Every structure is written in C-alpha cells, then in structure tokens.
A and B are shown apart, each in its own frame.
Chain A
C-alpha cells in the first residue's frame, strides 16, 4: 500500500515517446519537481495531454522549450510563443480541443467512458472530422475520451495510499488527469501519515494514484513576478 517513492523511481515510467497527461493551468498546479526530473533524465518525443503549453520557462513550457515534446493535445498555446514558433516550423504537432470539451474528454477517460456528447463547437472548425448524432431532437458532436500512459499531478497533501488534496486554483485539471492514466504520479507539497487526511477533504481517492513523490517546490519564476511592484 505504501506508494511513497523517490523521484528516480517515478521517472522510470516516463520514457521516450510516453503519452503523458499533466495537471496545471498556466503552470499553476503543474508538478515542478517531476518536470525538472524529466528534463534531467533527457526524455524526448513526449506526447503531452493537458490544458495549455504553460509559459516558455514555466510548467510543461519548459519541456517544450527544451525540444522534448513531439505532440500536444491541448486547448491553447497562446501563453507560450516558443510553442507557437515550433508548431509553425513543423517541430511540434498540436491538436486543439475547446477547453471545456478537453476537460470532459479527460474526465470521461478517467471514468471509463468511451466519449461524450456536446454541442459546444458546432458550426465552427471544432466540428471538423467529428461524428454528429441527434439525440432527443438536438444535434451533438461525439468527442472521444482521452487516456494516457502516465499522468503527473501536483497535490497539496498526500498520504501513503495516494489520497490527495489540492490547493486553491492549483486544482484545475489535476483531479481529472489523475484518473485517466495507467500510472499516476502525484508530487505532493506534504506527505502525511495514513489517517492524517480527513476523508471529507480528499479530492482524489488514492485508488487512482500509483506513486507519491515529495515536492522540492516551484523552481521557476512566475510570469507576473518582477512585472509588478518593480
């Protein structure tokens, strides 16, 4: 039951070509220690599934900037001009999904569903190549579920069973990706003994979590730092 592991043990599951889901929204809630570990290990050709491309030096943006990513399934890369340049040069393949649809496709993957029905994006390029069905007199797009080999999440507190709590806006996509991968690695700010988490406060039940590694904290500069008050 003890899932607490070292970073090195966790990184054994992340290799060249791994399909990797990540939590985080503009880098907030993306696990910094695991990102650093992936960079140090030298992994390449990753396929990333998550909300955005972070910023060039923040979150998964660091992996993209370092040329470690082959493809992304995401909702936008607008905050990362490096990712946009790489996409235009043909060095990064990007598949866009409307943000709410992306979140729900990941949730569906985690919940054992084949996909979802939504009318979001009908009449736009978001419907291109997708099956449409009518149900109860309304038209919907069929959006396939998303799963991954490995998910990496940032938790506030974790126990040895892998029960997780999150922190404020650091929750975002984390509980969704935590459920949708074969192996889920949680980086936690604090690892507490079994029984120390109130079951009422657990957001991700440990059943979905494979490994818990301790966080060494955020090692990047947030885009707003230095811009304000200086």
Chain B
C-alpha cells in the first residue's frame, strides 16, 4: 500500500479519538494513528507489552530501546503513565477497560466478523493480541485498504479466512470510505475525496446501505 493511502487512513481513524479514551493500537497502519491525534484531544494509549499512557514517536536520536510499543517501535511516555507486565496488560483488555481498539484486517464481514491473522496456505503469522482486543474492547475500529492486492474486496458478506473474532467490528475505515457495521448491515458514512459512492459500492463485497447524506474525508 502506498504511503499516502496509509497516512490518509491513519489520519481519518485518529478523528475517532475522544479525550479521556483508553485506546490500543494494533500493528501496521493502526500504529501510525498515534502521530495524528487531533490538537487538544488527550487519549491514554495502552500497549500489550505493558505501558499505559505512551505518547508519540520520539525525535530521531532520542529513541530509548527499552521504551517501545507492541510493534517494537520507540515511543515516549506522557505524564501519569505506568509500566506493568504483559499478563496485567491483558487483564486490562479482558476486564473491558479499553474504550477502543484500532486493528488491521485481511477481511471484514457485514456482521462485523474480523479475519486478520491467517491467509490459508500462505501466511500464518500468528494472532498476537488481536483475539483478546477484538473480543473485549468496547469499540473496534478496523483500518485497511479497501481492496486486497489482487483487487478483490476485503469487505464481504462472510469472511473466507479463519476468524479472529466474530461480530466484533463497529467501524471500518479504508482509503475509499468510512463504513459503520450495524445489526442491520453495513452503512456508508463517508467517501474519500477521490472516489464516488458508486466506486465504493462496486469495491465492496457486501450490500451497502447509502443514506441520503454521505460525508467526505
């Protein structure tokens, strides 16, 4: 995926953050979200390796090898931060104390099923913390390119890859659109500037309700 697409998705996802939220960011595009927190919004970022309250990437040359996020990239800490072990980090997740998690996806279904860890016969990187996060965070936002590399839709009626979690996803943010997952199916909320509603409908492998008013980003 091009750098600009990733940045656009991360920027739009950061607009979902609200002051006071406790948020966990997955690896990949989600990690970039920390650098796009809107001015005046104060979020508490949680990391599976045992940090509550980490901040943006440090300036080059100021990295601390022993202060990294779960993706292994250097971070900083905000006032009020704490360190703990990974068992406790996941206790925070299982107890339902995360307001939001932002995760990557291979496929998402119209019911909010998430597949993000196995491409059968190809890639089995392992699931990491995604099962815990997708199942337990109060709000699950998925960030992904709208289409797979071969041009096939990643948003489907049903996932064909093994699931990370079922009925977990609340919002899908792609390089083309923002789509809400509801009990009645998918609703198109916003379309990226370079695309039309028809482009998005064509690139989506599940029925997409199009309300009268669709936003732009």
Residues of A within 8 A of B (CB): 25-29, 51-52, 55, 74-79, 84, 87, 94, 96, 98-101, 103-104, 106-107, 118-121, 123-126, 166-176, 203, 218, 222-225, 228-229
Select which of B60, B74, B166 is within 8 A of A123 by beta carbon.
B166
Q: How many A-B residue pairs have CB under 8 A?
A: 154
* A29 contact set on B, CB distance < 8 A: 66
* B128 contact set on A, CB distance < 8 A: 52, 75-76, 78, 99
Could you give, for residues 71-101 of chain B, a 1 whenever the CB lies within 8 Å of some chain A CB and a 0 otherwise?
1111000000001111101110110000000
Is A168 touching B66 in the complex (CB atoms < 8 A)?
Answer: yes
Is A101 touching B85 in the complex (CB atoms < 8 A)?
Answer: no
Is B86 touching A99 in the complex (CB atoms < 8 A)?
Answer: yes
Q: A78-B126, A124-B163 are in contact. List 19 more A-B contacts (CB 8 A).
A: A25-B86, A28-B65, A28-B72, A29-B66, A51-B86, A52-B126, A55-B72, A84-B124, A99-B129, A100-B90, A103-B87, A123-B165, A169-B51, A169-B67, A169-B69, A203-B85, A228-B63, A229-B60, A229-B61
* A224 contact set on B, CB distance < 8 A: 63, 72-74
CB distance from A163 to the nearest CB of B (A): 16
Residues of B within 8 A of A (CB): 27, 47-51, 60-61, 63-74, 83-87, 89-91, 93-94, 117-118, 123-132, 135-136, 162-166
Is A228 touching B66 in the complex (CB atoms < 8 A)?
Answer: no
* B117 contact set on A, CB distance < 8 A: 76
Select which of B48, B89, B94 is within 8 A of A118 by beta carbon.
B94
Is A27 touching B94 in the complex (CB atoms < 8 A)?
Answer: no
Q: Which residue of A lies closest to B75 (CB)?
A: A169
Is B131 touching A126 in the complex (CB atoms < 8 A)?
Answer: yes
Is A124 touching B126 in the complex (CB atoms < 8 A)?
Answer: no
Is B132 touching A100 in the complex (CB atoms < 8 A)?
Answer: yes
* B90 contact set on A, CB distance < 8 A: 99-101, 103-104
Query: A103-B90, A123-B163 are known contacts. Are A75 and B126 too (CB-CB below 8 A)?
Result: yes
